[in-house]
Structures are given as structure tokens and as C-alpha cells.
């Protein structure tokens, strides 16, 4: 699946609640109107996600081999020293 195709699919779920619900339920009707192979549909249906963001992250990792999934614990920027932080009294 091309990156553009994945983006188009995801954007369509933002404007079509029925498509978004079908996608998160794991229904193949979410892909109606898209030119996808049976293998691509099977791969997309294998993704289990509760949010569109999670679905997008898993789909990206699946198709492009890049794990964009966030760390289990959020980064504490005070410990990382990325930004100066002032305590507000």
C-alpha cells in the first residue's frame, strides 16, 4: 500500500464516521471504494486498535517497517533536559 493510499484512507475516516467505525470494528466495508489487494485488506483487518491514531501507527509499521509507536512511558522533559522548566508557585 502506498503512503498516499494509506493517508487517503485515514483522511476519509475523519470525514466519514461510518468508515471510521467500520475500520475500528475490523470490518472490510471500511475499504469500500479503495483499490486494495486482498493481501492489503487482510493486513489492515489484522490491526486491532481502539483509536484512529493507534490504527495509523500500526498500519505504518506494518506496511513500511518503521515502528512509530510511542514509548510505554511518556518522556519526562525535565529529566531529559530538553527544555528549561520552571516550577510555578
How far apart are the C-alpha atoms of 38 and 65, rounded to whole Å? 20
Task: Encode pLDDT of 35-71 as tens digits.
Answer: 889 999 999 999 999 999 899 888 888 887 766 555 4
pLDDT band at 80 (very low <50, low <70, confident <90, very high): very low
How far apart are the C-alpha atoms of 86 and 32, rounded to whole Å? 51
pLDDT band at 18 (very low <50, low <70, confident <90, very high): very high
How far apart are the C-alpha atoms of 3 and 22, rounded to whole Å? 21
**Whole-structure pTM value:** 0.67
Cell 471504494, residue? 33
- Angstrom distances, CA of residue 3 to CA of 28, 35, 56, 66, 85: 20, 14, 11, 12, 37
Which 8-state DSSP code applies to residue 32?
A: T
Amino acid at each position: 500500500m502506498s503512503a498516499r493510499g494509506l493517508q487517503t484512507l485515514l483522511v476519509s475516516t475523519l470525514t466519514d464516521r461510518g468508515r471510521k467505525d467500520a475500520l475500528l470494528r475490523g470490518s472490510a466495508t471500511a475499504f469500500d471504494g479503495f483499490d486494495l489487494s486482498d493481501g492489503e485488506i487482510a493486513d489492515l483487518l489484522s490491526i486491532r486498535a481502539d483509536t484512529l491514531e493507534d490504527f495509523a501507527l500500526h498500519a505504518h509499521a506494518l506496511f513500511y517497517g518503521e515502528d512509530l509507536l510511542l514509548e510505554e512511558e511518556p518522556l519526562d522533559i525535565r529529566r531529559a533536559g530538553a527544555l528549561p522548566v520552571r516550577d510555578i508557585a
